[in-house]
Structure 1
Amino acid sequence: MKAIVLNGFGNVDQFSMNSFDIPAFQEHELLIAIKAAAFNPIDYQMRQGRRESLHMHSPILGREFAGIVIAAGKNTQGFQAGDEVIAAAGSKGSNGTYATHIALDYRMVAHKPASLSFSTATAIPASGLTALQTFRRMQPQQQDHIFITGGAGAVGSFLIKLLKAHHIDQLFTTAGNEQSSAALQELGLKPAQIIDYRQPDLTQQILAANGQRFFDWAVDIVGGSISETAAEVLGLNKNYADITFLGTERTRELLFDKGCHVLNISNYAYMAAGKVEWYGQNLQQLTALINDQIVTPPAVQVVGSLSADTVKQAHLLMENNQTYGRKLVMTMD
């Protein structure tokens, strides 16, 4: 097995290519040849040694993939060698997904939509599960006005698709460049629903776009100072979905002072609670939505094939906010 290893916390120069034995698999696991892996912001946050690194159990990063089953443990169900699959492995596989192989509990795996390439399908698991959890737990109503930070990203675009599929159209979000704005308009948002976060008086610009009405929901996918803006545009006793855990102290003060309901979104929570089956079951529901053309997968950019240079480039693009509404992907060919 070939894999990209993180040799220590720090900058992107900490990555190198290494060779390992193909991982052994247990009776409840699948051995899978990874064909494509997607990059996520949590990857570079782990590399930097931030809070997310506490969940690391392998020096091989990467949390989602698309691939082909090589072998199935005797206690697995629904899978056999040759099946094309997708999964959000998180930190529960034999190793991360910057690798050619992984062993993973079959209950975390779903069959890949047949119409999608591996490089497109690998963008589904992490962002799709996050967006689906957010949508279901919000229980939004058609009359709700919703503000989303970073709507052009993979999670934001998935969530916008789910909302619009349920005829929830009072959606507003931010963008900082023409590419992201164009990506949001492709999702069906009007230019007036997309606010440039670089302009002054951002809070007032967002409220003006919403007809000087405070919002029923704010969904924070970015963190930092924009989370404060999200809290500022919320109404009294309204609702805040926190996907990042990167809000500031002022964000928390604003939410408390307005008596807002805070909804914490964490895919990891189900693993911590021992509900491993949640991942595979919800992935199957996502693939059904895609097969039925109710939603589409995120747009992707293939950065390159498996190499330390590909990983370095992807991390820098994410850190510098240069993904422009596309999920970054690495192939194993």
Structure 2
Amino acid sequence: MMKQPLLAAMMLSTALLASQPVLAGNYKEFRDVAVWCDTAMNCSLTLVPKSFEGVTELTLRRENRLDNSLSIMMTSQKPIEPGTRFLISIDDNKSLTLIADVSSIKEDGAKYWNSNPDVAEWLIEGIKSGSMASVKMTTGDETISTSFSLSGSVAGMIYIDEYQDLLNTSYALQVKGSQAPRPRVPITEIKSQTQIPQIIWDKWFEQDGAMCHFFGSTAALEAGLGFRLTLHSADLYGLPCGMGGAYNQPYAFFTVPLDETNAITQTPFIMDGKVQADENGADAWNISFSGKDFTLKSEFKGRGIGDCGSQFTWQLREEGERIFFDAVELREKGECDGDYAGGPDNWPVTWPK
């Protein structure tokens, strides 16, 4: 697929680069906070300090569900041990102490995780009303402090509410209201081979010469970069397809009919009435999928800083048992000149003319 001349040239140069997973989803920065929403519509708001010795990130996460969806996470440069204490303070006048135990310590002591809804709500209210947060981390006789600016947190929470379609509902982080929440989009994060239908794995992933073979590293898959969306007649799988390059992660899409008598196929991408999919190549790159309007954005970076490349926008359509992506537009910027030019959403439209 994607046989535009610009894309062909960029794909050739990228193939020579060392491969690292590239995240999919929606990433935004609001002053001093970062917001990340993955393709399964789970969102995180992360505070990152300018300098630190202990806690390096304080994160509020909300899953794509209504109940029991909130959690907090802290990442530490120093190992977290059972009994490690975290004193979280907001503007030095509101504080909360959390104590790590075996069940709350993740990633070999690098992270602390807490899903108590009261703890999450306390942090939300503190973020909304305060200007600075601090975390004192105490392990044994050692105490290390880290300070976080809360500037941009409110805007970040509004973005999450909008992205998860919870604005003006009682579930909103910031803009609460009386509207009833819409049913959650039936979309699930894919993080392991066991979540992928065996037929897909055997045909498109398993063998060395398969289109999406990972060649020994399934890091992109384990990072949760894939998703499954349940439609009326089928499940749609969007999966990282191979290891990718330094800044471009390829993806492939598959349709798994609910009627098991029908075959599992690659999901077609249609442009100008013609199927663009190539059985020997990826369908999309560095994807961003919206569960609200079922649009898919595919950005191919000409180089790592993202100042050139291309972006396709596709509309997912379901017509009876026929499921496909229909091209909406193609934007391109060929000059790698250091000018981001407002990002891919603002680059010149080269299709349709």
TM range (shorter): under 0.3
Q: Which is bigger in relative contact order (C-alpha 8 A, separation at least 6)?
A: 1
Give the TM-score normalised by the residue count of structure 1: 0.25
| TM-score calculated relative to the size of structure 2 | 0.24
